[in-house]
Copies of this chain bind each other. A is one copy, B any other.
Amino acid sequence: MVKREVALEEAYRLLTPGMVVLIASQRDGRNNVMTASWQMPVSKEPPLVAVAIAKKHLTAEYIQATGAFTVNVPGFSLLPKVHFCGTISGRKVKDKLEEAGLTPVPGKKVPVPLIKECLAGLECRVWNTYDGGDHYIFVGEVVRAEASEAFDGFWRLKDNQDEYPVHHLGGPHYYLPGPSVSVLPKDGGFEVTPLKP
């Protein structure tokens, strides 16, 4: 396969990140929310997830203040609101959740809201904070998680496209999950077949 050199400043776009999430945070009773897709699971035991947040973002300040955040999974139907939350700073609006038309619901284990309209939410306590260049890597211990029926151990993605998570391609471009497949043993090798519902 012929390959070209990629400029280092655009290398990050080679790694299509995890699903787009909304990170909610809180400080002195004031809620904030931002869109992020630089997130990943990190550990099963203890259950840890990591999210990279630009050091200059208000969300970084809020997470450091409270030691907690929530990770919320929006479905495709929320995409315009999600994009809004990713393109305006919480410093410029009084209440970004309200501006976006999203509803905060108090977390049960952390003093940070979950977002009612999202497909899933993870309540996280900061387990550690690491330097990540122009971002902080916040590693959160998941202390409570909830999900809609679309999740049954993993995202089944079978019925309603409005409930699909989305991935960020870069800029204003996103993609939805497409065909799901299973890779199953066959004849000493593996066979790729459509995922059975």
Residues of A within 8 A of B (CB): 1-19, 21, 38-50, 52, 71, 73, 79-80, 83-84, 116-122, 127-128, 130-135, 137, 139, 142-149, 151, 153-155, 157, 164-165, 167, 169-184, 189-192, 195
Contacts and interface: CB of A to CB of B under 8 A. Distances in A.
Contacts of A181: 79, 173-176
B117 A84 contact: no
Contacts of A173: 154, 180-183, 195
B38 A42 contact: yes
Contact of A122 (B14, B146, B147, B184): B14
A80 B183 contact: yes
Given A39-B40, A153-B170, A181-B176, A79 B192 contact: yes
Contacts of A52: 40-43, 50
Nearest to A117: B1
A45 B117 contact: no
B41 A38 contact: yes
Given A135-B42, A146-B5, A147-B3, A79 B18 contact: no
B178 A172 contact: no
How many of these chains are in the complex? 2
Contacts of A71: 15
16 contacts: A3-B146, A4-B149, A5-B145, A5-B146, A11-B49, A12-B44, A14-B73, A16-B18, A42-B132, A46-B134, A50-B132, A80-B183, A127-B133, A137-B137, A172-B184, A175-B180
* Residue from A14, A71, A122, A184 with most neighbouring chain B CB atoms (10 Å): A14
A44 B108 CA distance: 35
Contacts of A169: 154-155, 180, 195
A151 B11 CA distance: 10
A133 B191 contact: no
